[in-house]
Amino acid sequence: MRIEQDLKLGFKDVMIRPKRSTLKSRAEVGLDRDYKFLHSSYKWKGIPIIAANMDTVGTFEMAKVLSAKKVVTAIHKHYSLTEWKTFLDNMPEAHLDYVAVSTGTGLEDSEKLENILKLNSKLKFICIDVANGYSEHFVNFVENVREKFPNKIIIAGNVVTGEMVEELLISGADIVKVGIGPGSVCTTRVKTGVGYPQLSAIIECADAAHGLGGQIISDGGCTTPGDIAKAFGAGADFVMLGGMLAGHDESGGDIVEKNGEKFKHFYGMSSATAMEKHVGGVAEYRASEGKTVEVPYRGAVQDTLQDILGGLRSTCTYVGASRLKELTKRTTFIRVAEQENKVYN
């Protein structure tokens, strides 16, 4: 046993220090990024925010709205091939730059992934997603997918440490997804004791990835637009959102009414709810590592997105970044023992 004494930080432990700026208005701030990738030769331009591949977030309805704004949706892996066909028939091809096909690492997953990608060659992003990205099986799977799809943009995760980011990039990933335990409906830290405060995970993993010419996604733990700004400030190339995009019209599922207020269901992808829905229950050897909650119904996701992007533009003006690209360079974090004033919450 060994103890690492360095204190690791989360979003709640820091704020971004304002800096002198020549920007007159947040309208001057560009949130688009242009990316090239480590393995894939595609060039991508867009707003580097990704809707998480969860049942109630990464839906086709979400992708229709977000892709029009150049924001990515990682489509959850539970749609059938027929549903994919219908979706693809109704999407402008240019919008497919903002759609990622998610997959697990099972044999069936791998066949399904191939079949979906065959439907339209304009699908560029593959998101290979497992709760624990530290297994040898996962690394081999990433290698195989890279062999089969030499030019797709491959996302792989989740991990939280630099050495594993490097291993996944070397094994064929273009982008490594970072986050273990910070998610709003995640109970991994409670069930297993395993995790890593997200801000430090981003700083360390971005450093490892950028050294090799790869990128990272900060996945999980953002509860406000300010957290998203902190994730980009810490060096994330993309930020993935679950809870912040749940509860909308595009999230699927029914609206539940209680005492005159409206709610929608939201649940972790390893919650008992998700396992019952997709694999007929929680297997005997495992515990559920996700919560099921009801979140307030929030209408159209477009309004929430506007709020998020407005917040990010404002962060950029506070530190004098005319483009999102400059945010990391212009960020100085201060460690704090307080966040917002909650007197009226």
Strands in 104-254 per DSSP E:
125-129, 153-159, 175-178, 215-219, 238-241
DSSP string, 128-170: EE-S-TT-HHHHHHHHHHHHH-TTSEEEEEEE-SHHHHHHHHH
Rounded Cα–Cα distance for residues 291 and 296 (Å): 16
Among residues 325, 317, 305, 291, the alpha carbon closest in space to that of 191 is found at 291
Q: Is 195 in the site for ligand 5GP (CB under 6 A)?
A: no
Is 55 a binding residue for ligand 5GP by CB under 6 A? The answer is: no
Counting contacts by CB under 6 A, is residue 178 touching ligand 5GP? no
With beta carbons less than 8 A apart as the criterion, state whether 249 and 61 touch.
Answer: yes
Catalytic residue, from 127, 186, 222, 316: name it.
186
Considering only CA atoms, which of 296, 256, 269, 249 is closest in space to residue 60? 249
Among 9, 52, 62, 327, binds ligand 5GP (CB under 6 A): 52
Residue 137 Cβ vs ligand 5GP, minimum distance, rounded to whole Å: 18
How far is residue 124's CA from residue 115's CA, in Å, rounded to a whole number?
14
| Interface segment toward ligand 5GP; rule CB under 6 A; list 25-33, 118-126, 164-172, 185-193 | 185-193
CB of 188 to ligand 5GP, least distance (A): 4
Residues 6+ apart with CB under 8 A from 40: 124, 151, 152, 153, 154, 174
Shortest approach of ligand 5GP to residue 89 CB, angstroms?
Answer: 28
Among 243, 265, 293, 328, binds ligand 5GP (CB under 6 A): 243
Residue 247 contacts ligand 5GP per CB under 6 A: no
Instruction: State the nearest-atom distance from the C-beta of 27 to ligand 5GP, in Å.
Output: 28
Q: Which of 62, 222, 234, 319 binds ligand 5GP (CB under 6 A)?
A: 222
- Our finding on whether 179 is near ligand 5GP (CB under 6 A) is yes
Q: Contacts with ligand 5GP: how many residues (CB under 6 A)? A: 25
* Identified binder of ligand 5GP from the candidate list 103, 105, 188, 304, rule CB under 6 A: 188
Segment 123-152, which members bind ligand 5GP (CB under 6 A)? Answer: 131
Answer for the pair 168, 215: CB distance below 8 angstroms, yes or no. Answer: no
Q: Tokens standing for 224?
A: 């406000």
Contact 77, 336 (CB under 8 A): no
C-beta of 158 vs 315, nearer to ligand 5GP:
158
Known active-site residue 127? no
Cβ atoms of 126 and 100 within 8 Å: the answer is: yes
**Token digits of residue 256:** 């539940």
Q: Which is nearer to ligand 5GP, 246 or 319 (CB)?
A: 246
Give catalytic residue positions: 186
Contacts with ligand 5GP, residue ranges (CB under 6 A): 52, 54, 131, 158, 179, 183-186, 188, 219-222, 240-244, 268-271, 289-290
